[in-house]
Amino acid sequence: MDRKLLLYLSYDGRDFCGFQAQPDKPNVQMELNRAAEELFGFPCDVTGCSRTDSGVHAKMFCATVAKQGEPGLVTHVSPDRVPRAMCVRLPDSISVYNAMWVPADFHPRYDVVSKEYIYRILVSQQRDPFEIGRAWHFPFPLLSDGVARMDRAARHMIGTRDFSACMAAGSKIKDPTRHVMESGVTRDGDVVTFRIRADGFLYNMVRIIAGTLAVVGTGRIDPDSIPDLLDSLDRTRMGRTAPPEGLYLNRVFYDDSGIPGWHGGDGNG
Using one digit for the tens of pLDDT, what is the confidence trace for 61-94?
999 999 999 999 999 999 999 999 999 999 999 9
Give the lowest-confidence range in 11-20, 88-97, 103-112, 257-266.
257-266
Residue 51 has a pLDDT of 87
For residue 37, how many other CB atoms are within 10 A of its CB? 17
Sorting pLDDT into bands at 50, 70 and 90, what band is 258? low
Please list the residues that pair with 11 across neighbouring strands: 58, 94
Buried b (16+ CB within 10 A) or exposed e, 199-208: ebbbbbbbbb
Q: Which residue out of 53, 128, 190, 199 is catalytically annotated?
A: 53
Q: Is 53 a known active-site residue?
A: yes
**Is the distance from CB of 122 to CB of 138 less than 8 angstroms?**
yes
Q: Please provide the average confidence, as pLDDT, over all residues in the chain.
A: 93
Q: What pLDDT digit, counting tens, does each position of 206-248 carry?
A: 999 999 999 999 999 999 999 999 999 999 999 999 999 999 9
> Cα separation of 256 and 258, whole Å?
5
Residues 6+ apart with CB under 8 A from 60: 8, 10, 249, 250, 251, 252, 261, 267, 268, 269
Encode pLDDT of 139-191 as tens digits: 999 999 999 999 999 999 999 999 999 999 888 888 999 999 999 999 999 99
Angle, helices 146-155 vs 205-218, to 10°: value is 140
